[in-house]
Amino acid sequence: MNTTWKAFVTAAVLALPAITHAADDALVKRGEYLAKAGDCIACHSAPHGKPFAGGLQMTTPMGAIYSTNITPDPDTGIGRYSEDDFRHAMREGVAKDGHNLYPAMPYPSYAKVNDDDMHALYAYFMNGVAPVKQANRESDIKWPLNMRWPLKLWNLVFLDNGVYQNKPDKDVAWNRGAYLIQGLGHCGSCHTPRGIAFEEKALDESSNAYLTGGVLENWFASNLTGEHNTGLGRWSDADVAQFLKTGASRHASAFGAMTSVINNSTQAMTDADVAAMARYLKSLPAAGGSGGPAYAYDAKATKVSLTRPANDAGARVYTAYCMHCHGVDGRAFAPMLAPLAGNPNVLEKDATSLINVTLNGTEDLVIGGIPAPYPMPKYASVLNDQQIADVLTFVRAGWNNGAPAVGAADVAKLRKATQAAR
């Protein structure tokens, strides 16, 4: 071997570890991005706890359960999981030791994640996450409901574990958006109504129940179809993309669990992926809603009530506590402050979210490290049940919103439920 060729071979061999390391780093970085797309940190991190160490309480109809430690700690986390073990848990809801996971873990959605993305996620959780030794907490579900074997039957009936397949009649952006919404984004876990067995009533757009909204953990997750009043029918693609990036648009602002989604997930996604998600969502036909006439703004009657609030209990509360942010016209200063006139959450017949956000306020939206300047304050200790019912009834009737009244008993019930959950 001549000297030149020998030197070349030696240099190439010495470069191999560096090339491999760079490839590994890129894979871990891609896995980190995908973990953000899946908002894994939100469920697998308790308040003030360490990232991905679990312990977050989640409410189910049978009792509270607690998210698990998914750091690479070998004793309390997933450090001993092989890649096959990891895929099995993600797609089929079965842990390494064989026990079934509760479907609060959105494995029916993660089943659609392709092999390449699953490989990158595994690389990230094994190499990009700090191990934390923190034992998992048992659920509060009592025997016999805490037995796991019925979940095997649940999976047989409700789990479709096929990886997402591109629709040949749709373009690249639509398919990318569908893949993200249905898979890692697991949007249906909150935004699709659930059946008697806690199953999502639909897993994709082939059913008109998909993404029509549903109650989960004392919030109503909004309708994401093209429904004119309570859905995204009046939103443009740009409105949807703006909301996913910032948590606010000219139509509504994020609250409840969606705040965490914006803070930890969608704002970190690429503009192309966010645009693809908006493209897919805006393609969904109208479904759900109340079936009422299309919303049209009209402030006349409401302005009269607000000029003479003594005649209306709800108007009195509104002028004292709400008007300085949301305005006489109900349009506020969107997107900085949420409008109430025509807001899909206000028009929704289920008032769960409106009651909850009035009682308990919102956590800060933090965009690019900067908290939003005007979060919704909590009024649980300021207003009684009747006052909250009065002001929400006023808002839901105002500016031609035409939504049903709210009763004091509804407020009392949710006040008790949210206090118990804390």
Q: What is the dihedral of CA 231, 256, 37, 283, to 10 degrees?
A: 0
Pairing of the two strands 214-216 and 63-66:
unpaired
Q: Give the separation between CA 235 and CA 233, rounded to whole angstroms.
A: 6
Separation in Å, CA 125 to CA 23, 265, 314: 16, 16, 51
DSSP state of 367: E
Asked if residue 40 belongs to a known ligand binding site, the reply is yes
Asked if residue 326 belongs to a known ligand binding site, the reply is yes
Directed axis angle between helix 385-397 and helix 408-421, to 10°?
Answer: 120
DSSP state of 342: T
**Backbone φ and ψ of 129, nearest 5°:** -115, 135
Tell me if residue 350 falls in helix, strand or coil: coil
Q: How far is CA 305 from the centre of its chain?
A: 37
Asked if residue 190 belongs to a known ligand binding site, the reply is yes
Q: Give the separation between CA 90 and CA 278, rounded to whole angstroms.
A: 25
Asked if residue 48 belongs to a known ligand binding site, the reply is no
Q: Give the separation between CA 335 and CA 367, rounded to whole angstroms.
A: 13
Q: Give the separation between CA 281 and CA 382, rounded to whole angstroms.
A: 38
Q: Is 397 left (phi over 0), alpha (psi -120 to 50) or beta?
A: alpha
Tell me if residue 249 falls in helix, strand or coil: coil
Asked if residue 325 belongs to a known ligand binding site, the reply is yes
Q: Give the separation between CA 177 and CA 174, rounded to whole angstroms.
A: 5
Q: Give the separation between CA 355 and CA 375, rounded to whole angstroms.
A: 16
Asked if residue 44 belongs to a known ligand binding site, the reply is yes
Give 66's strand partners: 57
Tell me if residue 28 falls in helix, strand or coil: helix
Q: Is 39 left (phi over 0), alpha (psi -120 to 50) or beta?
A: left
Residues in binding site = 40, 43-44, 187, 190-191, 322, 325-326
Annotated binding-site residue numbers for heme c: 40, 43-44, 187, 190-191, 322, 325-326
